[in-house]
Amino acid sequence: MFGLLTITDLAAEELKKRTAMNSDAVGVRLSVTNTGCSGHSYKMEHVLEEDSADDKFEHEGAVLYVPKAHTMFLLGTEVDYKEDDLASTFVFNNPNADSTCGCGESFSVKEG
């Protein structure tokens, strides 16, 4: 059984860094847009003020907001962060993703 959304310790550290980049930010919003070669992609942006249309998730001092309307796309998702010699990026381990594009930036949702 999956929770709505989980944040790893590494992702929490990066979310705190990203939030601190904007002194007015209260957290980061993770949303899903209709774009990309597979149909949907993840979008992250600073949140300047809480909105009742968002669910709020906190872990280790990091605050992540998700629009309630996007819950169906993110149910059970683990937000992680990976860093290596070539790149650093958030990784979304989403059990609702049926497939992803070659670059990993977009995904399609399982039917039914």
Single pTM value for the model = 0.85
Q: Mind listing the domains of the chain with CATH numbers?
A: 5-109 (2.60.300.12)
Mean pLDDT, rounded, of the chain: 87
What tens digit of pLDDT does each residue of 36-77 get? Answer: 566 788 899 999 999 999 999 999 999 999 999 998 889 999
Distance, first Cα to last Cα, the chain? 18
Give me the DSSP letters along 35-72.
-STTSEEEEEEEESS--TTEEEEEETTEEEEEEGGGHH
User: Confidence class of residue 2 from pLDDT cuts 50, 70 and 90?
Assistant: very low
Asked whether the beta carbons of 89 and 32 are under 8 A apart, the reply is no
